[in-house]
Amino acid sequence: MPGITGAGSVSRNVRPLHTRMAKKLFIALCIAAPVSFALVRPIFPQSVSVAAVFAITGLVLSGVLLGWSIGNLFHHRRRAMLGFGSVLVCFCFLVVVADYFAAHEQRQRQSSGTNVVEFTK
């Protein structure tokens, strides 16, 4: 009988495991990249080197996220827009974090006396 399907041939709209895992990994990346930048601010006063590790990790994760979002642009437009939004947040955090490190560098130079401007006549 052509119209009847057996129990073994029930067709469901089930996504493959790798697609579900890729989606979960992408969402985790969309969260992890901005969070690693956000953790720089509270950690910075205690340890500048640990804060630098978080900043570099955020930069790497946002680069990976940007590449993956560009790759998803034509096949999964919603997912790509989520990725681009997360990269935009990362960029804003990067601007703030760069100011923290620049201010720290300037404070170090001032404390060591290398930032003294000498005027010659």
Place of tokens 């010659």: 120
Is 70 inside a domain boundary?
Answer: yes
Of the pLDDT bands very low, low, confident and very high (cuts 50, 70, 90), residue 30 is very high
In this model, does residue 31 exceed pLDDT 90?
Answer: yes
d(CA 27, CA 67): 14
Is 54 inside a domain boundary?
Answer: yes
Instruction: List the structure tokens of 30.
Output: 């969309």
d(CA 77, CA 118): 57
pLDDT at 120: 55
pLDDT at 9: 52
Is 77 inside a domain boundary?
Answer: yes
Is 53 inside a domain boundary?
Answer: yes
pTM, entire model: 0.73
**What residues contact residue 11 under an 8 Å CB cut-off, 6+ apart?**
5
Is 68 inside a domain boundary?
Answer: yes
Please state the domain count of the chain.
1
Instruction: List the structure tokens of 108.
Output: 């170090």
63-76 pLDDT, tens digit per residue, is 999 999 999 888 88
- Half-sphere exposure (Cβ direction) of 102: Cα atoms closer than 13 Å: 6
Is 98 inside a domain boundary?
Answer: yes
pLDDT at 108: 86
pLDDT at 32: 95
Is 6 inside a domain boundary?
Answer: no
In this model, does residue 52 exceed pLDDT 60?
Answer: yes
Is 84 inside a domain boundary?
Answer: yes
- Note down the domain range covering 55: 48-109
